Structure 1
Amino acid sequence: MTQHTDVVVVGGGQAGLATGYHLRRQKLDFVILDADPAPGGSWQHMWDSLHLFSPAEHSSLPGRLMPAQPGETYPDAGHVVDYLSDYEKRYGLPVQHGTRVEAVCRGADRLLVEADCGTWQARAVISATGTWSRPFLPTVPGRSAFTGRQLHTVNYRSPAGFAGQRVVVAGGGNSGAQTAADLAQDGQVEVTWVTRHPPRFLPDEIDGRALFDVATARRRALDADRDDTGGVASLGDIVAVPPVRAACDAGLLSARPMFARLTATGVRWADGTHATAEVVIWCTGFRPALSHLAPLNLRGPRGHIPTDGTRAVGEPRLHLLGYGDWTGPASATLIGVGRTARDAARAIAQLP
């Protein structure tokens, strides 16, 4: 059965919900199709100790302030899930959970959205699938030879199950630092943290709100053809959230250079040094989950879909939202996605 609507939003996490809020303000008919069976987006899959970088009042979607979490300056992931669930209900957003979109194709005068439970015809589509479902694993010599366990950030929850084991955490970003700190502070895990470049911790006073302001200033400078300010990357790579700072202060969090290869029993550096390990956790980031857009043939030479703001250059009825700075300054954050969601909704409302 084919259904008709003005807009189909693919993804019901923070970007999809912010989009729904603004589509409703534009009085557009829409549906949000979300593969997860429950509300909360990727936050419901995060590791147990994860906390936001910013206080609740600076981590809100449009129209609804996130309430403070009692006893916590920086809310944890469970609090974010509760907030997103409440947001969805508060605004009566038409989210169909447990619905996986398989393809977006061009029809005669509309876009066709093919899902596992039917097809929608829409004037426009907003892709807001994020990156969590597409973890990136680097090509490293010997990876297939390692006989221990290899996990990615998406598989890590807590130190439980790692007691007495030697664990290598690979990755110099926030997830790598937080995972290494989590394991090291447990006291029952021998942790080796490796990074490609020496880790750069942001000043203690920098939180998510400041990062949003810096990213926004950089985008405005680039749009005005002024010099590149460097944005967040000019400040550092890792936010010193309290658990990470505590691990650093206790001497538990020091990074070694990235190893050259994996062996059957561990990792080996270029100088021949070897460390035995039972587990390697790859905190090596993600790629945009865009396979559903493949039929539109929009990818450039490097697999990137060119955009003008959030609008796909090669298909003006398609908008991409929440994947990072290339779809709007800080658009992959709770505080940053609202502005780009508003702009996308306004642009769609003006379509013929």
Structure 2
Amino acid sequence: MTDPHAIVIGGGQAGLAATRTLLARGLRPVLLEAGAEPVGSWPRYYDSLTLFSPARYSSLPGLPVPGDPDHYPHRDEVVDYLRRYAARLDADIRTHHRVTTVTHDGDGFTVRTAHGATFAAPAVIAATGGSSRPHRPALPGLDRFTGTVLHSAEYRTPEPFAGQRVIVVGAGNSAVQIAAELAAHATVTLATRTPVRFAPQRTLGRDVHFWSTTVGFDHLPIGPLLRAKPASPVLDAGVYRAAIVAGRPDQRRLFTHIEGSTVHWADGSTDEVDTIILATGFRPEVSYLDGTGALKDGQPRQSPGLSTTVPGLGYVGLEWQRSFASATLRGVGRDAAYVVARLATTMSPARRRCCQPVG
């Protein structure tokens, strides 16, 4: 293989967008994906997951999501779409290549995978995204809970929880969607630190994404300002708010502590609970950058999408990386264009050959 100009780590929506952008500039990327196919984490999400943005606002650059532009794609539609997108790229995509280490020196980067392959290039784009590592907060007594604790990343369908007492922790779209679905099969409480904030899915007959795109909100480079703000409101056509008002699920402030299987609430009441589901978000999985100086407390040191400590290193797909939409299907393309344009000057041909797997 001819030496690549850049190595893209991660074959989900962010990595595919970055790879397309590099190819469009006449550059030669190699994309390394840990899984069996370049579709990111989508196949592992819960079965009923539905995008909160219509198809017309959920596409990567160069290929619209098929079907009615105003429909809300399901998980499996997104998986199929990403498969088609990857196939159309005609790119050097290596699946089953889990990156374990990245090193940086004056000649560029050396990337090593779990099965012994080594790649070298003058630039690296970390595109494993912001949804790779489930975040499990240290809630009081959770480590001693005698019931079942799951992260939303492990939730698939409601049927296994039939008849149970379940608490879903979280105030975002996934937490509300999972809790409402479970409430038809179990007794469910949505536990939050602050009340759930709702935003209308449609205003004046148009989806909220029409308005955010029309007024340019999606494009504003305000991502860093949003990182310290409260969680985004839950988009709702009225279904989820009505479910909570009806008490299916009920909503309470986060419990004070847990003893065994007993959950204690702030008002002094208690509940015997079977399962706690943590819909508490994700963190970037970029541990392969340990030792490069690119991370602080495990988080990328970047602004906005460019490493502030390691020349030639960029990111695509981080939440709030540049804009409100940075971690979404509709946002990663813009961020990829921004990052690649600024890394392009470093992408002279690599001085070292790209090595094949050992053994």
| Structure-2-length-normalised TM-score | 0.87
Partner residue of 1:10? 9
Partner residue of 1:225? none
When structure 1 is superposed on structure 2, of 44-53 and 130-139 the one drifting more is: 130-139
Partner residue of 1:102? 100
AA aligned opposite 1:42: S
Distance in 1 between residues matched to 2:255 and 2:109, nearest whole Å: 47
Shift of 1:193: 1.0
Q: Is the 8 A contact 1:146 1:262 kept in 2?
A: yes
When structure 1 is superposed on structure 2, of 59-68 and 131-140 the one drifting more is: 131-140
Select 2:271's aligned residue among 258, 268, 275: 275
1:167-178 matched pairs, under 5 angstroms: 167-178=166-177
Shift of 1:22: 0.7
**Closer/same/farther in 2, CA of residues 77 and 232 from structure 1, 3 Å limit:** farther
Partner residue of 2:257? 261
SS at match of 1:4: coil
When structure 1 is superposed on structure 2, of 114-123 and 2-11 the one drifting more is: 2-11
Shift of 1:150: 0.3
Distance in 2 between residues matched to 1:215 and 1:112, nearest whole Å: 35
Aligned residues: 340
Structure 1 segments, 4+ long, off by >4 Å, are 208-213, 230-236, 248-251
When structure 1 is superposed on structure 2, of 269-278 and 284-293 the one drifting more is: 269-278
Over the matched positions of the two proteins, sequence identity in percent amounts to 38
Runs of 5+ in structure 1 lacking a partner? 223-227
Runs of 5+ in structure 2 lacking a partner? 349-359
**Closer/same/farther in 2, CA of residues 3 and 156 from structure 1, 3 Å limit:** farther
1:193 aligns with 2:190: yes
Partner residue of 1:293? 289
SS at match of 1:182: helix
User: CA RMSD of the aligned region, Å?
Assistant: 2.6
Partner residue of 1:240? 236
Distance in 2 between residues matched to 1:241 and 1:203, nearest whole Å: 6
SS at match of 1:202: strand
Q: Is the 8 A contact 2:198 2:241 kept in 1?
A: no
Shift of 1:160: 1.7
Shift of 1:69: 5.9
When structure 1 is superposed on structure 2, of 275-284 and 204-213 the one drifting more is: 204-213
Distance in 1 between residues matched to 2:9 and 2:237, nearest whole Å: 32
AA aligned opposite 1:198: P
Larger relative contact order (CA 8 Å, sep ≥ 6): 2
Shift of 1:316: 1.9
**Closer/same/farther in 2, CA of residues 121 and 234 from structure 1, 3 Å limit:** closer
**Closer/same/farther in 2, CA of residues 272 and 261 from structure 1, 3 Å limit:** same
Shift of 1:204: 3.0
**Closer/same/farther in 2, CA of residues 273 and 235 from structure 1, 3 Å limit:** closer
CA deviation vs aligned residue, 1:99-134 (integer Å, no higher than 9, x gap): 100011013412011112311111100000023331
Shift of 1:86: 0.3
Select 2:311's aligned residue among 313, 316, 321: 316
| Structure-1-length-normalised TM-score | 0.88
